[in-house]
Amino acid sequence: MNTLDTAALRLLIVDDLHPVFIDMIQDAGVTCDYRPTITRNETLAIIKDYDGLILRSKFKVDSEMIDAATKLKIIGRAGAGVDNIDQVHAERKGIQLFSAPEGNCDAVGEHMLAILLALLNKLNIGNAEIRNGLWLREENRGIELGGKTVALIGYGNNGSAMAKKLSGFDVNVIAYDKYKSNFSDHFVTEVQMDELFLRADVLSLHIPLTTETSRLVNKVFLDKFSKPIFFLNGSRGEIVEIDAVIEGLRKNRILGAGLDVLPVEKFPELKNASWYNELISFSNVILTPHVAGWSKQSYFKLSKILAEKIVKFWR
């Protein structure tokens, strides 16, 4: 890569990134300060000296942080979205935002498909029973995915990757995306929400967190499905009202739930959530710690793609 006229630019990296990011940025002539252990308060004290801020999910880049960053030209997030950044305030200040949703879409697709197959085949239940001295074959009879209709809400990078992963399972994949049209292909059929509510056997979310999608999946939403469904969320926890999911599980309107994200994450906060104990009491619920997009390979791809976008912007 040719060295750019960027010697005066300084980038602060406050999260763990793959070394490829630093290599590519430095090859472009930009100075990188890699401080993955820095705290929010420490960042606030020095951010005024930097032209760019790079993070994953360490803290929220709110108006206080943005106002303190008087030189900031870019904020980059090595992840699928920028929902931990005050986008409106950043844009008002003329700051360019970057993310790398192309970098972890395969990881998300594989992870959520793995959860779905585990739910259908009761893998978590059978594993726990055998470890506790129970050998129950009939009770653990599985359900085949073939012939089912899998409904996706959102058909961007993650939704399209999920559809491709499903293509070998003899399923009908349908998708609704409010902001896209004419995207039907040999992996998916575009539908409107009414048809999705009517046909879905499995619902999988692939949408960003916005003011419009916050608490989208609530009791009213779930009651619109014409038959019981398996429910997957690997997008953002705040999109779903967990109490509504619990009610659906109680009433067998939700046959099983796979949640990689929750409205409250990490301990001890999660254990103190009002719904936590009841949610974990269901054997047909599989929970993972917000790792669907965080594979060994995506660690590299997220950093590489983000670096490519930033270098292109400065060039």
Q: Specify the pLDDT at position 315.
A: 82
Q: Is 131 a catalytic residue?
A: no
CA nearest 169: which of 120, 102, 99, 225?
A: 120
This prediction has a pTM of 0.93
- Residue 8: band (very low, low, confident or very high) from pLDDT cuts 50, 70, 90: confident
pLDDT-above-90 percentage for the chain: 96
pLDDT exceeds cutoff 50 at 23: yes
Q: Specify the pLDDT at position 180.
A: 96
pLDDT exceeds cutoff 60 at 4: no
**Residue 293, C-beta contacts closer than 8 angstroms, at least 6 positions apart:** 79, 80, 104, 105, 107, 108, 111, 158, 234
Q: Which CATH architecture has domain 10-103+296-314?
A: 3-Layer(aba) Sandwich (3.40)
Task: Select which of 195, 278, 290, 308 is catalytic.
Answer: 290
Q: Specify the pLDDT at position 5.
A: 53
Q: Specify the pLDDT at position 191.
A: 98
**Residue 52, C-beta contacts closer than 8 angstroms, at least 6 positions apart:** 9, 10, 11, 12, 30, 72, 73, 74, 75, 76, 310
CATH 3.40.50.720 fits 105-287, yes or no: yes
Q: Burial, 236: exposed, middle or buried (Cβ in 10 Å; 0-12, 13-18, 19+)?
A: buried
pLDDT exceeds cutoff 90 at 34: yes
Task: Select which of 42, 91, 265, 269 is catalytic.
Answer: 265
- Residue 6: band (very low, low, confident or very high) from pLDDT cuts 50, 70, 90: low
Q: Tell me how far apart the alpha carbons of residues 77 and 306 are, in angstroms, rounded to a whole number.
A: 8
Q: What is the mean pLDDT of the chain?
A: 96
* Span 88-110, pLDDT tens digits: 999 999 999 999 999 999 999 99
Q: Is 215 a catalytic residue?
A: no
Contact 284, 119 (CB under 8 A): yes
pLDDT exceeds cutoff 50 at 302: yes
Instruction: Using DSSP bridges, classify how beta strands 52-55 and 189-190 pair: parallel, antiparallel or unpaired.
Output: unpaired
Q: Is 290 a catalytic residue?
A: yes
The predicted model gives 39-45 an average pLDDT of 97
Task: Select which of 56, 236, 241, 253 is catalytic.
Answer: 236
- Name the H helices within 167-241: 193-199, 219-222
Q: Specify the pLDDT at position 3.
A: 43
CATH 3.40.50.720 location in the chain? 10-103+296-314, 105-287
* Span 195-227, pLDDT tens digits: 999 999 999 999 999 999 999 999 999 999 999
